[in-house]
Structures are given as structure tokens and as C-alpha cells.
Amino acid sequence: MSNPIENRYEFVYLFDVENGNPNGDPDAGNMPRIDPETSYGIVTDVCLKRKIRNFVEIAHDDKAPNCIYVKERAILASQQAKAYEALKLKNDKKNGDGIAQARRWMCQNFYDVRTFGAVMSLQNYNCGQVRGPVQINFGRSIDAIAPRDLSITRMAVATEKEAKSQGGDNRTMGRKSIVPYALYRTEGYVSACLAEKTGFGEDDLELLWNSLVNMFDHDRSAARGKMCPRKLIVFKHDSKLGNAPAHKLFETVDVKPCEGNPPRGWDDYEDGLSCPPSGSLDGFNGVEVMHIL
């Protein structure tokens, strides 16, 4: 692991979806998430973090120091037990020093713990709580979206009984929810002060950028359609505390909504995208702009 980062960062991330469901809502029949008052599409921070975790897991074979703590079918108590076994600690919830040691071990060995943080204060194998240096906002579409709920058919049935009940017609019906096209924008933050506590270093930061650029290529499914990263604009401060308010930096990146026909591709937005060039940011001393994508 490299030394903890010494600079604060913010970033703006643009990604789009074509004929897919970027983030289904289980409370709405898994339809694409939407703000009911404005009809803007929503993608949760948890959804994006999941894709980052998945990319890191396959890129590093789930090996230390880039193991993944929260993964599919993982038993969190078993993950935390690894710290107690490695450090030969007693499973005593009153052992404050032991919990602190276990927390450090979890940060050292699990990428998502030292990046996003975790609540690991379970009754068994208590590893405390970690506040992560990387936080991501909800993504929101640039324009209002109109999700479609499509009927689909399958030319087979699951059982012989089902086939007989349909009189020889082996087709079964289903539903598929999609967004014809939408461009989403989200913002994120990287705190050098919190990175110092978890050990989040320059190598981890580079892995974060690589994950945002490449994660959709390893997350394909029939449900999600074509999802692509379009822009990743990073603001680097020359200090730990930072040199400008995050919201002011985000305002330097502007994507104009489409006029006329509903958008159906990235080309509909390129002319309406305004962002600062790479290098020192005019009007913000001590802030550098980097175009990762």
C-alpha cells in the first residue's frame, strides 16, 4: 500500500444508458428509479459503489490489500473474523484495543473499507466503524426520462404441467423495464483528512479512477443495456483541507438539457457540454483540473 493521499479531490462523472435499466427500484416493480415530481432519472450512490467494488474484485482477484468486504452472498461476520484470526485476538466486545487493531487490519486488507468506510460493529468479531474518504452523490439525469415497460415472450415453459395448461402454446410472458436513453451526472468527494485515518493512498486513488472508467465494461447484462462512461473531470486541491468550495467547482461543469426532440445519444449533448480545460483552474488558486476521461 502507498502512503495516504495528501490532496483533497472532487470529481464530476457523466455516464449514459441506452435501452436499459441503470438502477431498478424494488418498491416500483424494478422500474428505473425516477423523481416523481420532476421525472428526472436517479441512480443511487450504492449502485455506483457496487460496480466499483465488482471491478476491483475481478481486477485484483479479491486478494489483499484489495479484498472486497461487501460482496454478493458475503457473510460480514465471517469477513470480520479474518481480522481476529490474523491478529490472534479474543472475540471480546469490551476489548477496545483489540477492536482498534481489527479496524486497522480491515482497512489495510479491504479496498472498500478504506475507500467507502463500513459499519463493522457487529456483536461477533466487532471491528468498529470506519468513515470512508470517498463519497458519491446520487446520479441524476440531465433531462426528464420516460421509462418504458415492455412485454417480452419466452418460447418455452418451465415444467410439463405448465405446457399442458397452456394447450400446447409454450410461450410465457414477461416484462422488461428500460430507459430509451438518458445521460446521468453525479459528483464525488475524496477527503485527504479521512484518507489519513484509513490508509487510502495514491494507488487506491488511481484504482478508483480506473474503476469509474472501466466498470461498465464488466457489468454487462440484458437488463442494463449499453451503459458507458462519458466524462470524468477531477479537481485536485494543493492541500488537505482544499482551496475552494466543492459546489463552486461543480458549477464550472455544465451540461445543457436537450431542446426539441428527446435525446437518443451522447452526440445530442456534446455541443452543450461546457467544462474547464486541464491545468490550473481560472479564478480558483490552488486547484488543478484533470480530465481522466
| Whether the predicted model's global pTM rises above the 0.75 cut | yes
Q: What is the pLDDT of residue 83?
A: 95
Residue 224 — pLDDT band, cuts 50, 70, 90? confident
Confidence class for position 139, pLDDT limits 50, 70, 90: very high
Q: Are 272 and 255 in contact (CB under 8 A)?
A: yes
Whether pLDDT at 170 is above 70: no
Judge whether residue 166 has pLDDT over 70: no
Collapsing DSSP to helix, strand or coil, 99 comes out as helix
Average pLDDT over residues 208-217: 97
pLDDT of residue 157: 75
Helices marked H in the chain: 45-59, 76-87, 96-109, 111-116, 160-165, 192-198, 202-214, 246-250, 267-270
pLDDT confidence tier of residue 223, bands split at 50, 70 and 90: confident
- The confidence score (pLDDT) of residue 167 equals 61
Cis peptide before 276, with omega less than 30 degrees from 0? no
Residue 191 is placed in which grid cell? 477527503
Please state, rounded to an integer, the average pLDDT across all residues of the chain.
92
CA angle 238-244-250, nearest 5°?
Answer: 110
Check whether 5 has a pLDDT greater than 80. yes
The per-residue pLDDT for 165 is 72
Looking at the DSSP assignment, which residues form a beta bridge with residue 280? 288
Cβ–Cβ under 8 Å, residues 125 and 84 = yes
pLDDT of 184 strictly over 70:
yes
**Euclidean distance between CA atoms 69 and 82, whole angstroms:** 11
Q: Residue 93 pLDDT > 90, yes or no?
A: no
Please say if the pLDDT value at position 29 is more than 70.
yes
Residue 291 CB neighbours (<10 A): 13
Report domain extents, the chain.
1-44+138-145+178-293, 57-132
Check pLDDT > 70 for residue 1: no
In this predicted structure, the answer to whether residue 96 has a pLDDT above a threshold of 80 is: no
Q: CA 188 to CA 194: how far, in whole Å? A: 14
As a whole number, mean pLDDT of residues 110-123 equals: 94
Instruction: Name the residue with higher pLDDT: 162 or 60.
Output: 60
